[in-house]
């Protein structure tokens, strides 16, 4: 791929803007040599304004989503994309979230520009487990775990029962819930169906991949080993 197209696809500007940057000498190799539009320098050896390039196409990011941010570019207010470099919004292919967390839910959120990877994670056939830490408004009654695990629970306005889910009771008002699907507001609707209300909700793990000390609002690029962890339970 020509250098101009590579940089434009990574969101560093339009092709015209990237050509200007190249003419001004802002694009170099690691030795400081100015690159030309037709340079064949490997991605990992290119610097833009003395900084390494953003990850190449096929990137997967993990973010610790804070409360108060939404996942769709169509939403109003604070977006999870505001926590990434501005140019990430201009990448081609587009950088998308893998699933969503609502405004009042925090925790593990994945992004990728790899459509095949995205569909593998969200495919019902994959059944990648998602782990949620739940704080409830009222004490648990004791029969929720059996119902959630039954494979027979129905949510209002739906015609297909939920897949079995595992509930670990931590104390009267705190629990850990493991889901193998991702329906709209599923955790909140499950507890509402048994007469309770979710006060706080965090997704702590996707497959075998956890937040592992990542600060709220922080993000990192996943390695191949990290990506494999997501599917470790398949």
The residues carrying an active-site annotation are 102
CA 187 to chain centre: 18
Non-local CB neighbours of 22 within 8 Å, separated by 6+ positions: 3, 4, 34, 35, 36, 37
Three-state secondary structure along 9-53? HCCCCCHHHHHHHHHCCCEEECCCCECCCCCCCCHHHEEECCEEC
What does DSSP assign to residue 35? Answer: P
Q: What is the DSSP letter of 223?
A: P
Report how many helices (DSSP H) and strands (DSSP E) the chain contains, helices first. 6, 12
d(CA 211, CA 169): 21
Query: For 9, how many CA atoms within 13 A lie in the half-sphere containing its CB?
Result: 15
Task: Give the CB-side neighbour count of residue 207, counting CA atoms within 13 A.
Answer: 20
* Euclidean distance between CA atoms 148 and 141, whole angstroms: 13
Helix (H) or strand (E) holding 136: strand 130-136
The phi and psi torsions of 117 (rounded to 5 degrees) equal -65, -45
Sign (positive/negative) of CA torsion 70, 71, 76, 81? positive
């Amino acid at each position: 791929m020509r250098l101009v197209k590579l940089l434009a696809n990574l969101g560093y500007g339009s092709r015209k803007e990237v050509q200007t940057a190249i003419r001004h000498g802002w694009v170099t190799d690691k030795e400081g040599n100015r690159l030309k539009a037709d340079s064949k320098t490997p991605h990992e050896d290119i610097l833009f304004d003395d900084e390494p390039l953003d990850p190449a196409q096929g990137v997967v990011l993990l973010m610790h989503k804070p409360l108060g941010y939404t996942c769709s570019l169509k939403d109003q207010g604070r977006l999870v994309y505001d926590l990434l470099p501005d140019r990430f919004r201009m990448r081609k292919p587009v950088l998308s979230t893998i699933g969503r967390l609502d405004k009042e839910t925090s925790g593990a959120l994945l992004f990728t520009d790899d459509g095949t990877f995205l569909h593998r994670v969200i495919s019902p056939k994959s059944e990648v487990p998602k782990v949620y830490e739940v704080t409830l408004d009222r004490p648990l009654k004791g029969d929720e775990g059996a119902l959630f695990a039954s494979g027979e629970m129905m949510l209002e306005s739906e015609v297909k029962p939920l897949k079995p889910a595992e509930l670990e009771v931590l104390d009267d008002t705190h629990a850990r819930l493991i889901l193998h699907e991702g329906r709209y507001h599923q955790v909140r609707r499950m507890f509402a169906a048994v007469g309770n209300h979710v006060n706080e909700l965090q997704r702590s793990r996707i497959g075998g991949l956890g937040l592992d000390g990542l600060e709220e609002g922080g993000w990192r690029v996943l390695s191949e080993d990290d990506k494999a962890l997501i599917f470790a339970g398949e």
